[in-house]
Structure 1
Amino acid sequence: MYCIIDIETTGNGIKGNKITEIAIFKFNGKQITEEFTSLVNPECEIPPFITGLTGIDNDTVRNAPLLKDIAEDILRITDGCIFVAHSVNFDYNVIRNEFEQLGINFVRKKLCTVRLSRVVFPGYRSYSLGKLCSSLGVPLENRHRARGDAHATVLLFSKILNTEGIDITLKKFLNARSQEATLPPSLPKAQYSRLPQKPGVYHFKNDKGEVIYTGKAKNIKKRVLSHFYDKSEKEIKMCRATQKIDFELSGNELVALLMENHAIKKLYPLYNRAQKRKVPRIAIFSYEDREGILHLAFSKINSVPQPLTTLYSLTESREFLEQICAKFELCAKYCHLQDGVAQCNHFRLGPCSGICRGKEDIIEYNLKVQKAIDYVTSERENYIIKEQGRNPEEDALVVVRDGLYCGYGFIPKDQQISSLEDAMAYVTPQTETLEAKRLISSYTFKNQNNILLMGQE
């Protein structure tokens, strides 16, 4: 026995969604044996856009029963029945959440007519109730009202039950291990079934092929499934919009993290929150002015061809130059810590040895600057991280040159590497970000045995 159900709600997110109307048709597979339809007072305001969609406003439900008043009717008519709805997880979760607030445990087996229709009526561009009914010639009256939509779903479900081989299909869908009731309504099961249980990144895509979420995982299949079990409002909206899942193997967690960071910065997916912010890189560099004096300065990295080092905020860059200026007794004016002054007088560093007042020899001052440059650049390391590859025949590489993350790649295990240039032939070039820098720093601190130091080139 089946109960085909449709509800109208206040639309206030999944947890705050309140039922304003419910319709239930008890169906034995051939005919309707019982019907229950009722407006419901949600005990809150109905937003205007919901009224515009359904025609249900605050006056419509003012004298309607509360959900607790009709809870016994809903429990009785659905008892022992399979809960059927178009995009079943939405209706089911709203009802279950509302019953939970009443202290009632609501558990029923589920069937989704969207997912069933995708299997038995393949090839349609849209499986929304309205468009599917129009394509299949199913009458749909009083659209966006619970009884109208529920009755159309009964007719659609009847068509589904009359298709060849439906008994086997239903058996698969109702099998607790099939995960059909867990997967998003618009996602073909084949998309989930093809996911590997290996490290990498995955991309949720909508009906336009746009990436709406990117994630990383040690086990892609297991991590993707966890999204479908998550009942937070954001996750439910994201999963309902997902129609395709792509993935890339990484072989290990570090490369997966770097892949994820790169994809989020490049694609800016709708449902990713972390790592979206683009932190500008600041370059520390040197140059010689017309008087032959060496300067140290900082600027956005786009305007600096050969930085001495890079940092990730103007404050951090100023503090770094202040430390260098103090350590090597340089001039705050010529380190660009004070602009528009004839002579330096930095509030923290104090006066220099006199280069800005013509009391220090330029050659001697430049020697101090060169020592500072040597000190800064000596901190730049050249190394390769060698990690597990995507298969037993390869290794994964992460390359850091002059202290900057350059990219990742994969190389055959029998291929010898004697220089960074050898490694770069196998690497996908990447731009260092603050997150990538932190990921690599954390990794190298914990995994010294996987690091191959390389000489200066």
Structure 2
Amino acid sequence: MSEKLYAVIDVETTGKGINGNRITEICIVLLQGNTIVDKFTSLVNPECHITPFITGLTGIDNDMVRNAPRFHQIAERIIEMTTGAVFVAHNVNFDYNVIKGEFKNLGYSFVRKKLCTVRLSRKLIPGMFSYSLGKLCSSLNIPLEGRHRAEGDTDATVILFQRILNLDPEFKIINKFLNVRSKEATLPPHLKAENIEVLPEETGIYLFKDQKGKVIYAGKAKNIKQRVISHFYDKKNKEYALGQETYTIDYEVTGSELVALLLESEKIQKHYPKFNRAQKKPVAPYCIMFYTNRKGVVQLAIDRSQTFDHSVEIFYSRPEAIERLEQLCEMFQLCPRYCSLQSTTERCSHYKIKNCKGICIGDESVALYNMRVQKALSTLKRDQKSYFIKEKGRTFSEQSFVMIQDGVYKGFGYIQEDEQIVSVEDFDNFLNLQKHTYHTTKIIKSYLRKNGDRNIVPI
């Protein structure tokens, strides 16, 4: 094992994320055991523009690489130096995937065993304030000249790796990391493998957290462990960036996919995670509202509101709300003009609804018209049902439930199957109160469309 080959590598790139990233500079130092036996450094023409930001970071500009070799011209040298060697880098998945991508563009499959000096350092040199290359070298008195240049970073990584080899003389940790069944090579640099091992293969939610414990991503899954691991095999820029900032992962088993969806929505609204896109924006639902105008006529209208004091039905799409309002007009012979279905101030002339009795032109009294409006409102309120959705629990002896009261989501809970329940109020002891939002409305309506009344228990 002492004579094993290690290719310590660093690349500088155009900085276009993990996909489409091109190399601007590369350095490879070949170690046999602890001894340097070869070295290769070269600028690389990326065949694309280098942005001012990258130039400011690395010092490499378009002029410097104009006459440098293109990747295909140094590919043979890279293959020669890395064949039979373990690919070693600080945050190895970045350098490895960039080089693998360059070879893929040439039609060549680049596959090597990998070791990450970030993960090895966290294991063998615990307690450091930071494991970034610059701060780690400063803490360990490792010289680092030419930061963010391939040769400078590689030379520092070589010294760091040599110390790691000395700290693991029997190669117990290194052999574990090289084991093909080990997740160490595929996991993000700061995440402990044990954190993955304890994840359950059950339905629930999971939370990615950064170094300070802040939630940066919330997700739901039928199989928490499987879904979490899939994030680290996804080569999208967003997934890669998420992995780089993840230090710990928390989870909560729900048993029910519906409860998981609702809980995921609550966590997104509460923590506003950096890497979530959907559901972050607080969206006011569409509501059928009512008010009395200056003539004393009770008017109906569609509006968006986070409060539901003067609303009688809630929708998550405007066309759905309009369709419901048109139904009311036809059923109760209401005026489209006074239901905000047309903006004209003259006699109503809706393309579909023709049975207005003339309130808009004074042919009907306000009192008679308002009586029919009140009947319409009563119908809507009767339709706002109260019920439980009964779902699977977290164990065989448990059930989960989602509570809807007068059409409004109140929360969820868990109850043992042998629990004595006499009245609706008994559920209050088990209910986790939640906020009714546009997103929870959408989740529940989607569930009902898919499942119907199969799991519904009327209150």
TM-score normalised by the chain length of structure 1: 0.91
Provide the residue aligned with 1:150 in structure 2: 154
Provide the residue aligned with 1:262 in structure 2: 266
Q: Deviations over 1:362-403 (max 9, x none)?
A: 553333223212322232222111111122342111112222
The answer to whether the 8 A contact 1:18-1:98 is kept is: yes
Stretch deviating more after TM superposition (295-304 or 403-412): 295-304
Stretch deviating more after TM superposition (171-180 or 396-405): 396-405
Q: Deviations over 1:135-182 (max 9, x none)?
A: 011111121111111111110011111115661111110111111000
1:367 equivalent to 2:371? Answer: yes
- How do 1:159-178 residues align onto structure 2 when only pairs under 5 Å count? 159-164=163-168, 167-178=171-182
Instruction: Report the residue type matching 1:185 in the other structure.
Output: P
Stretch deviating more after TM superposition (167-176 or 257-266): 257-266
1:246 equivalent to 2:250? Answer: yes
Structure 1: 5+ residue runs without aligned partners? none
Identity over aligned residues, as a percent? 51
Question: What root-mean-square deviation, in Å, do the aligned CA atoms of Structure 1 and Structure 2 show?
Answer: 2.5
For the structure 1 residues 294 and 39, does the alpha-carbon distance in structure 2 shift closer, same or farther, using more than 3 Å as the test?
Answer: closer
The answer to whether the 8 A contact 2:168-2:174 is kept is: no
The answer to whether the 8 A contact 1:10-1:47 is kept is: yes
C-alpha distance in 2 between matches for 1:446 and 1:59? 60
For the structure 1 residues 328 and 162, does the alpha-carbon distance in structure 2 shift closer, same or farther, using more than 3 Å as the test?
Answer: same
The answer to whether the 8 A contact 2:14-2:24 is kept is: yes
The answer to whether the 8 A contact 1:9-1:18 is kept is: yes
1:200 equivalent to 2:213? Answer: no
1:234 equivalent to 2:238? Answer: yes
Q: Deviations over 1:418-441 (max 9, x none)?
A: 544333432222333444334323
1:121 equivalent to 2:125? Answer: yes
Provide the residue aligned with 2:222 in structure 1: 218
1:38 Cα shift? 1.4
Provide the residue aligned with 1:66 in structure 2: 70
C-alpha distance in 2 between matches for 1:445 and 1:282? 19
Provide the residue aligned with 2:419 in structure 1: 415
Structure 2: 5+ residue runs without aligned partners? none
Stretch deviating more after TM superposition (236-245 or 206-215): 206-215
C-alpha distance in 2 between matches for 1:403 and 1:453? 14
C-alpha distance in 1 between matches for 2:318 and 2:451? 31
- How do 1:341-380 residues align onto structure 2 when only pairs under 5 Å count? 341=345, 344-348=347-351, 349=353, 352-380=356-384
The answer to whether the 8 A contact 2:335-2:348 is kept is: no
Q: Deviations over 1:215-267 (max 9, x none)?
A: 11111111100111111222111111211211111112111111122222333
The answer to whether the 8 A contact 1:280-1:313 is kept is: no
The answer to whether the 8 A contact 1:331-1:344 is kept is: no
- How do 1:372-411 residues align onto structure 2 when only pairs under 5 Å count? 372-411=376-415
Q: Secondary structure at the match of 2:389?
A: strand
For the structure 1 residues 85 and 166, does the alpha-carbon distance in structure 2 shift closer, same or farther, using more than 3 Å as the test?
Answer: farther
C-alpha distance in 2 between matches for 1:409 and 1:178? 38
C-alpha distance in 2 between matches for 1:418 and 1:425? 13
C-alpha distance in 2 between matches for 1:446 and 1:319? 21
Stretch deviating more after TM superposition (332-341 or 135-144): 332-341
Instruction: Report the residue type matching 1:421 in the other structure.
Output: E
1:318 Cα shift? 4.3
C-alpha distance in 1 between matches for 2:364 and 2:49? 77
Stretch deviating more after TM superposition (445-454 or 190-199): 445-454
C-alpha distance in 2 between matches for 1:336 and 1:83? 68
2:86 to 82, 88, 94: 82
The answer to whether the 8 A contact 1:288-1:295 is kept is: yes
